[in-house]
Amino acid sequence: MSLVNTNWLEKNLDKVKIIDCSWHMPQTKRNSFEEYQQLHIENTIFFDLDKNSKTDTDLPHMLTDIKSWEKIISNLGIKNEDRIIIYDNSDVISSCRCWYNFIYFGHDPSLVHVLDGGLKKWMNEKKPTVSNLTKIISSNYIANEKKKLVKNKEQIDENIEKNDFRVMDARSRERFEGKVPEPRKGLRSGSIKNSFCLPFSELINEDHTFITKEKILEKFRLTKCNLNENIVFTCGSGVTASVLALAYSLIDTKYMPTIYDGSWSEYGKN
């Protein structure tokens, strides 16, 4: 139940904590917080993916440390027992990255969900929005870091020989195959040796909902990756990798999302 639909959320607005985790690629020139201030679903809290990430690195939105995460989530008024619904208004379905962060830091996976279709579908259905900021009462959130759910560059390099897990890349095929320049400066084109490619966009409908479970399974099978082995997802900066991880959790309910956090922003440095 990683996904909930818009009708379900509309009926349960007062029973859940709602997060807007919209994040946009830099070249879009969009400001997520300004858009949130203009309109959002009632009772929604804004989650700034860049500010709520590791600060002492030049890599984008890396996982922060556990104490910082506890402070961030406590300041958002979220409790350990809360059911959380995360949405976005982004073409890269950034809500999935926030979903992954919560699971990594130990929130019960059965209590963390992404709104299928996000704000785009909600608005297309003419469901109500507000502009007033949500009042937050601080909590005392306690995290439980699941370090096995993240890989670093050293582990990715070692795995090229060991083959303990498979690496699947969510970027476009053109980027994966090195046929186009990377959107971030200072990165070479290409991909991690022996990795597989499944562009996240192939799993998303025009209305920003996920395609059916049957079609998701078919897409994964077409990659020729052995789905019986451990899978680690990567992308440009760890955002769309989380889209693949959530999609995979829909067809394998026991799968715990595992991400190469640095992704190509780290691995592809010149």
Determine the average pLDDT of the residues in 151-177. 98
Confidence of residue 29 (pLDDT cuts 50, 70, 90): confident
25 pLDDT higher than 90: no
Confidence of residue 11 (pLDDT cuts 50, 70, 90): very high
Q: Please provide the average confidence, as pLDDT, over all residues in the chain.
A: 97
Please give the pLDDT value at position 73: 98
Determine the average pLDDT of the residues in 108-125. 98
Q: How far apart are CA 135 and CA 33, in angstroms?
A: 16
The CA-based angle 160-166-172, given to 5 degrees, is 100
Please give the pLDDT value at position 179: 97
Q: Which of 226, 206, 227 is CA-nearest to residue 93?
A: 206
Q: Which of 182, 163, 153 is CA-nearest to residue 260?
A: 153
- In this predicted model, what pLDDT tens digit does every residue of 232-251 receive, in sequence order? 999 999 999 999 999 999 99
Please give the pLDDT value at position 1: 63
Percent of the chain whose predicted confidence (pLDDT) is above 90: 96
**Which domains, from first to last, does the chain contain?**
3-124 (3.40.250.10), 147-267 (3.40.250.10)
Say if CB 237 and CB 169 are below 8 A apart: no
- Cα–Cα distances (Å) from 30 to 22, 142, 153, 186, 242, in that order, read 10, 33, 30, 22, 21
Please give the pLDDT value at position 27: 83
Please give the pLDDT value at position 6: 98
Q: Look up residue 138 and give its two tokens.
A: 């601080």
pTM of the model: 0.97
Q: List, by residue number, the catalytic residues.
A: 235
124 pLDDT higher than 70: yes
SS3 205: coil
- In this predicted model, what pLDDT tens digit does every residue of 84-96 receive, in sequence order? 999 999 999 999 9
262 pLDDT higher than 80: yes
SS3 227: coil
Q: How far apart are CA 44 and CA 87, in angstroms?
A: 9
Sheet with 166-169, edge to edge strand ranges: 150-151, 259-260, 231-234, 166-169, 196-197
Confidence of residue 218 (pLDDT cuts 50, 70, 90): very high
